[in-house]
Structure 1
Amino acid sequence: MHYWSPSLDVDYEFEKLVNRMHPPRVTVDHITDKKSTLIKVDSANKRGSLLEVVQVLTDLDLLIKRAYISSDGGWFMDAFHVTDQYGNKLSEDNVADRIQQSLGPRGCSFRSLRDRDYDTDEYDIVSDSSSGHKPLVTVENCVEKGYTVVNLRCADRPKLLFDTVCTLTDMQYVVFHATIIAEGPEALQEFYIRHTDGCPISSEAERQRVIHCLEAAIKRRVSKGLRLELCGEDRVGLLSDVTRIFRENGLSVTRAEVTTRGSTAVNAFYVTDASGNQVKSETIEAVRNAIGETVLKVNEDEMSMCSKSSRQQQTGGFSLGNLFRNRSERFLYNLGLIRSYSEVA
């Protein structure tokens, strides 16, 4: 429950005044980074600025691969390296305008962002023990700088940065500096924070509370399986056809997000093999060929993980049989009975 007070209206009007005097400046750079689009945001610093920026990028369905954040003083400066859901650079030319409008005087206030998107039920908190990745959260004080340093290391997923930033903001902490790296299956996040009163974390109980809340934020919305996104013209029987193709190829759907935008179906499926293990790359290719490669898409990073897993399964990993075979081939090469050991190794 949220209570109204006159100070809330005063703060909100002050924020609008600051936005008018110092409007946010957003630049989009497609050249600097070969693999991602660089988005820079400069604006007057106010509480909730970082959360609002991350919220906008999340609403645009962008994946944040790297980010460098600084808001120490009266100015707020962020640099985000982003891609679309499939790991490609952005193709839209109006992304800067959309971000600027969202952060400007006509955009949503910090309170409405938090109330609308962060309040979730407990059916949304899912343990990530099935994913094989246990989140690691450390909280230590940097005495010489007067900050508390928070480090997170966990499996990456969509909206992860939003959930962690929203948690820190909701717990009345301010992020002064941060570095985010999520260029593979794992995400690394480092935050330099202080409480809104300007002090770092001062007790062991408070430190443990931050760790516990961030671990819960990491586990939020975790889904097991490879994410496949279906985007195409909606029609009767489309969903049943897709799930039938999944079954015929031995895939099990662990979670589905089904939406329709006008005449277009935008559905996301999280799939595993019949035993609950990671799907082989050749299986995904077979499914995409059956449904349509332009209709069913998969993130490049996740696909590369499937390929790596498939190669390991095909080679059988390390075994005594492989060891003896390699030794015998090396012995035959030394006797001159085969041409090159490297050709068979």
Structure 2
Amino acid sequence: MNTASWPYFDPDFDGLSERVYGPVCRVTIDNESSDECTVLKIDSVNKQGLLLEVVQALTDMNLTILKSYISSDAGWFMDVFHVKDGSGNKVTDQNVINYIQKAIGANKEAMVKARARNTKFLESKTSAHEPTAIEMRGKDRPGLFSEISAALADLHINVVEAHAWSHNARLACVAYISDQSTSSPIDDHRLATIEDHLTTVLRATTSQNTGDDVCTNQQEVKHFAGLPDHGRWEGTMTDVERRLHQLMLSVRDFDGPPSASGPSSSWPRSTANIPLGGHDDEEEREKKECQVRIESCDEKGYSIVTVSCKDRRRLMFDTVCTLTDLQYVIFHASVDSDEGYAFQEYFIRHVDGCALNTEGEKERVIKCLEAAIERRVCEGIRLELRATNRVGLLSDITRVLRENGLAVVRADIATQGENAVNAFYVRDMSGNDVDMEFIKTMKREMGPIDLDVKNETPIIRRTSPGNGNGNGSGNGRPRFSVGDILRSHVERLSHNIAIG
């Protein structure tokens, strides 16, 4: 009888190559070392952008990074994160733990391959039902987001999802749209019409007589053929946010708002830059305080970037994302937060191996990091509106806000089944504090629309002898009679929703 024999592999020897060369990535989750948080340890062969991938994965899972220590010299990546979940507790959910290990660990390569196969399958099977992704960038002005929403409604386009940021009078937006009648992707001919129409809206304030305007070639609208590389349908929310960072960087929002001397400079100065009285002045300075410094480490050839500012969620993602997109490699880093304040230190070199040698390069990196930190910090009130979704709903809501002196500085639009969930950060177009009594009255009168006001804080309004508008109250903005101003808009809006 013929017999077959196979080589013998010692189980201990099987793991030798992994011990010598290392796995793709080894993840250890420790809930014993600390009483307050979960300690996440990562060992991996290093590659450019790996730190961003890890931070992005943790951010996707809504984990808060309290501390981190990173070292990636000699081709090896070693990192320690101290994290908490969205409720401020240790990460104990086994499903979340398994996902962390799969998303970051040795199974990541297999997950990427499987995802690529699934994406090709989905493109062939369901591409007819997926929305089209478009992105917009350019100069911002009060009411622009409302104008964009109205333009899409006029073109009978349904906004399935959208995310927009405004900073330093620049706008970036990533949106997913579909045809109103078929809820299907839009053909190339209509896409060209949509792009031309939206580009015209974006360029409405571009003046040839004003040298401070954003260049015309930076006012543009683009669409993606097939599924995008970022966003809802293939990626995650952090993919969209990274793209928003890139779009804002491309329109140079880090240079600050355009000069007030030009006719197109329609955004008011930030309220944080207007002197206030008493303790409110100190609170505003603390809110805006952000210090970025760059020093040289000549012995090792690094540039040391230090960031100190008020702590918040996704802060590390924003800074690491910006340094990565600026083509810098992070070799070592230390991140810490204490009592609401964050301190970050990065040892970096450019991808070509050089440190930051010129003052111009250092100044640019400082400006870009400051802008990345400020983009997500909105000076305004967060409004959440929920209603039955229909084409034109977004246009109607933003028009009501615009016609009553409120500008949208950040927006997150989503659909959940038949419902639309819209979150807006709004501010007063005149630069004054948002009148909370006005918001509360609008909330009572919105009818079938469910309106929530988030981050509601006491407001100390500035007063002045007069503002030239005929209003002797001197509160910087005439008091609105909401019943007279909003009733017709809200009643029409409510009626449309009821029959939509």
| TM over 0.5, shorter chain | yes
1:148 to partner: Cα distance? 0.6
How far does the alpha carbon of each residue in 1:188-235 deviate from its partner, in whole angstroms, 9 at most, with x for none? 1100111222221121121112112111211222223687999x9x99
Name the aligned partner's letter for residue 105 of structure 1: E
Q: Distance in 1 between matches of 2:412 and 2:342?
A: 23
Q: Is the 8 A contact 1:125 1:221 kept in 2?
A: no
Q: Is the 8 A contact 2:303 2:348 kept in 1?
A: yes
2:109 to 105, 119, 129: 105
Q: Report the secondary structure of 1:46's partner residue.
A: coil
How far does the alpha carbon of each residue in 1:18-50 deviate from its partner, in whole angstroms, 9 at most, with x for none? xx9722111222232222222222111111110
Q: 2:327 corresponds to which residue?
A: 172
2:368 is equivalent to residue 213 of structure 1: yes
2:247 is equivalent to residue 120 of structure 1: yes
The 5 A counterparts of 1:55-74 are: 55-74=56-75
Q: 2:350 corresponds to which residue?
A: 195
Q: Distance in 1 between matches of 2:35 and 2:416?
A: 32
Q: 1:243 corresponds to which residue?
A: none
1:185 to partner: Cα distance? 2.6
Q: Distance in 1 between matches of 2:340 and 2:98?
A: 31
Q: Distance in 1 between matches of 2:111 and 2:289?
A: 37
Q: 1:247 corresponds to which residue?
A: none
The 5 A counterparts of 1:226-237 are: none
Q: Is the 8 A contact 1:66 1:80 kept in 2?
A: yes
Distance 1:35 1:123, change over 3 A: farther
1:183 to partner: Cα distance? 3.8
Name the aligned partner's letter for residue 296 of structure 2: N
Q: Which moved more, 1:112-121 or 1:198-207?
A: 112-121
1:52 to partner: Cα distance? 0.5
Distance 1:68 1:271, change over 3 A: farther
1:142 to partner: Cα distance? 1.1
Q: Report the secondary structure of 1:182's partner residue.
A: strand
Q: 2:46 corresponds to which residue?
A: 45
Q: Report the secondary structure of 2:349's partner residue.
A: strand
Q: Distance in 2 between matches of 1:227 and 1:182?
A: 25
Report the TM-score, using the length of structure 1 for normalisation.
0.59
Name the aligned partner's letter for residue 207 of structure 1: K
Q: Distance in 1 between matches of 2:45 and 2:417?
A: 38
Q: Is the 8 A contact 2:91 2:97 kept in 1?
A: no
Q: 1:8 corresponds to which residue?
A: none
Q: Distance in 2 between matches of 1:192 and 1:75?
A: 15
Report the TM-score, using the length of structure 2 for normalisation.
0.43
1:142 to 287, 297, 319: 297
Name the aligned partner's letter for residue 201 of structure 1: L
How far does the alpha carbon of each residue in 1:258-314 deviate from its partner, in whole angstroms, 9 at most, with x for none? 545569998767699xx9889xxxxxxxxxxxxxxxxx9x9xxx99xx8xx9xxx9x
Name the aligned partner's letter for residue 71 of structure 1: S
Q: Distance in 1 between matches of 2:111 and 2:321?
A: 18
Q: Is the 8 A contact 1:71 1:176 kept in 2?
A: yes
Q: Report the secondary structure of 2:356's partner residue.
A: coil
Distance 1:99 1:130, change over 3 A: farther
Name the aligned partner's letter for residue 325 of structure 2: D
Q: Distance in 2 between matches of 1:123 and 1:158?
A: 25
Distance 1:176 1:205, change over 3 A: same
Q: Distance in 2 between matches of 1:264 and 1:65?
A: 35
Q: 1:204 corresponds to which residue?
A: 359
1:176 to partner: Cα distance? 0.8
1:159 to partner: Cα distance? 2.1
Name the aligned partner's letter for residue 51 of structure 1: L
Q: Report the secondary structure of 1:181's partner residue.
A: strand
Q: Is the 8 A contact 2:296 2:302 kept in 1?
A: yes
How far does the alpha carbon of each residue in 1:64-110 deviate from its partner, in whole angstroms, 9 at most, with x for none? 1111111111211111111223323224213343233334213559x
Q: 1:157 corresponds to which residue?
A: 312
Q: Distance in 1 between matches of 2:86 and 2:305?
A: 27
Q: Distance in 2 between matches of 1:35 and 1:266?
A: 34
Q: Report the secondary structure of 1:218's partner residue.
A: helix
Distance 1:36 1:265, change over 3 A: farther
Q: Distance in 2 between matches of 1:195 and 1:169?
A: 10
Q: Is the 8 A contact 1:66 1:183 kept in 2?
A: no
Q: Distance in 1 between matches of 2:380 and 2:239?
A: 30
Q: Distance in 2 between matches of 1:227 and 1:85?
A: 19
Q: Is the 8 A contact 1:180 1:189 kept in 2?
A: yes
Q: Which runs of 5+ in 2 are unaligned?
A: 1-20, 114-228, 231-237, 258-268, 273-287, 390-407, 435-451, 461-500
Instruction: State the identity as a percent.
Output: 46
Between Structure 1 and Structure 2, how many residues are aligned? 277
Q: 2:498 corresponds to which residue?
A: none
Distance 1:72 1:205, change over 3 A: same
Q: Distance in 2 between matches of 1:225 and 1:171?
A: 29
2:25 is equivalent to residue 24 of structure 1: yes
Q: Is the 8 A contact 1:102 1:108 kept in 2?
A: no
Q: Which moved more, 1:87-96 or 1:214-223?
A: 87-96
Q: Is the 8 A contact 1:168 1:174 kept in 2?
A: yes
Q: Which moved more, 1:210-219 or 1:255-264?
A: 255-264
Distance 1:152 1:85, change over 3 A: same
Distance 1:32 1:123, change over 3 A: farther
The 5 A counterparts of 1:209-288 are: 209-224=364-379, 257=412, 259=414, 261=416
Q: Is the 8 A contact 1:157 1:222 kept in 2?
A: no
Larger radius of gyration: 2
Q: Is the 8 A contact 2:22 2:44 kept in 1?
A: no
